A = this chain, B = another copy of it.
Amino acid sequence: MTIYEVARHAGVSIATVSRVLRGTAPVAEQTSARVRAAAQALHFTPNRLGRSLAEGRHAANGIVFPDLVGPYYAEVVLGYEEAASELGSSVLILATGRRRDAAAAVVELAGRVDGLVIMGNTVDDATAAGIAAGGVPVVLLAREPLAGIDTIRTRNAASAKVLAAHLVEHGHRRIAFLGDPAGSPDVAGRFAGLAAGLRAAGLPAPEPVSCGLETAAGEAAAAVLLDGDRPDAIVGANDEVALGALLAAAAVGLRVPDDLAVTGWDDVLAARFAGLTTVRQPMRELGATAARWVHRRIAERTADPNRPLAPARRRILPTQLVVRRSCGHHGTPGGS
């Protein structure tokens, strides 16, 4: 089913069919009607490949993320999709998950899109830089900046520092961090901020207790931690981990926040119902901003392929501490 068959069916040339379907040039009403009727009758759906090849653009963008578990990435992707489709681009997704050929998959994806967003802990810098060098605009999300490449992040370290201060104010002294700083730039930033905040309060920086980002991982790691010489407070790398810690605490009969304080990160829906103190980040906005930035880069290149690129942009979106009851008692108004 191609434009040729529609043309034959309608007794016109393929150019006319294209013009009618795209509305790109005036066509006699009668001819136009014939073409539309033929297209309808044949259930013709234009093959986007032909058009894209002829136009020299995919009209599609891609986004690469580790996975879609938990609301965080899903929200980012949704924000991205919304903004991208408003800007006329389809969206290709790629979850690197636990696949071993992540780099190859991302490179292949780069051949399908006009621009690409690469999130956190998905592929190595060389791969990302190589794609950008190949001429495909890249935006890095929740990830360390790379020379010449736009980057958008959320405030991790600074907010973690505030969180540390808050915990110290509650009287907590022995504070443990649950998460793997090496596993994701976000987690690294949160841990660094926590450590800085504790140092600023004259407390020793904790060792991170490495664990995955799911509830089960947090629960298991916390269980081990609580079994020994336990801390006053556990800072989870994200809400899932913190919720796991809550479960582990409950399992050994510890009361939160009396016996143990717990905090998370992301403000997922469950955090609200668990009374979990956490840090909210603008996930949708993160995705939407990324979509706008790639779009702008693409437009720049289209406008003048030879002009030297504008310098790489950087942005850090603000995050917000959400205090609930898991970090300690706040008493009635006026209390601490």
Give residues in A with beta carbon < 8 Å to B.
Answer: 1, 43-50, 52-53, 58, 60, 67-71, 73-75, 77-78, 81-82, 85, 90-95, 97, 99, 105, 107-112, 130-131, 133-136, 215, 240, 243, 246, 268-270, 272-274
Q: Which residues of B contact A112 (CB under 8 A)?
A: 48-49, 60, 90
**How many Å lie between the Cα of A268 and that of B70 in the bound state?**
10
Supply 13 A–B pairs (Cβ within 8 Å), ascending by A: A44-B134, A45-B111, A49-B49, A60-B92, A60-B112, A68-B77, A74-B74, A81-B95, A269-B269, A270-B272, A270-B273, A270-B274, A273-B273
Name the 10 nearest CB pairs between A and B, nearest first: A74-B74, A270-B270, A43-B134, A68-B78, A273-B274, A48-B111, A269-B270, A48-B112, A43-B133, A49-B53
A201 shortest CB reach to chain B, Å: 30
**How many Å lie between the Cα of A240 and that of B273 in the bound state?**
11
Q: Are B71 and A90 in contact (CB under 8 A)?
A: no
A43 shortest CB reach to chain B, Å: 4
Q: Are B48 and A108 in contact (CB under 8 A)?
A: yes
Q: Are B85 and A47 in contact (CB under 8 A)?
A: no
- Give which listed residue, B53, B82, B90, B111, contacts A97 with CB less than 8 A: B82
**How many Å lie between the Cα of A43 and that of B127 in the bound state?**
10
- Give which listed residue, B1, B58, B108, contacts A134 with CB less than 8 A: B1
Q: Which residues of B contact A70 (CB under 8 A)?
A: 71, 269
Closest B residue to A243 using CB positions: B273
**How many Å lie between the Cα of A270 and that of B239 in the bound state?**
11
Q: Which residues of B contact A47 (CB under 8 A)?
A: 111
Q: Are A43 and B273 in contact (CB under 8 A)?
A: no
- Give which listed residue, B46, B69, B78, B270, contacts A111 with CB less than 8 A: B46
A4 shortest CB reach to chain B, Å: 15
Q: Which residues of B contact A246 (CB under 8 A)?
A: 273
**How many Å lie between the Cα of A272 and that of B271 in the bound state?**
11
Q: Are B82 and A215 in contact (CB under 8 A)?
A: no
Q: Which residues of B contact A60 (CB under 8 A)?
A: 92, 112
Q: Are B75 and A68 in contact (CB under 8 A)?
A: yes
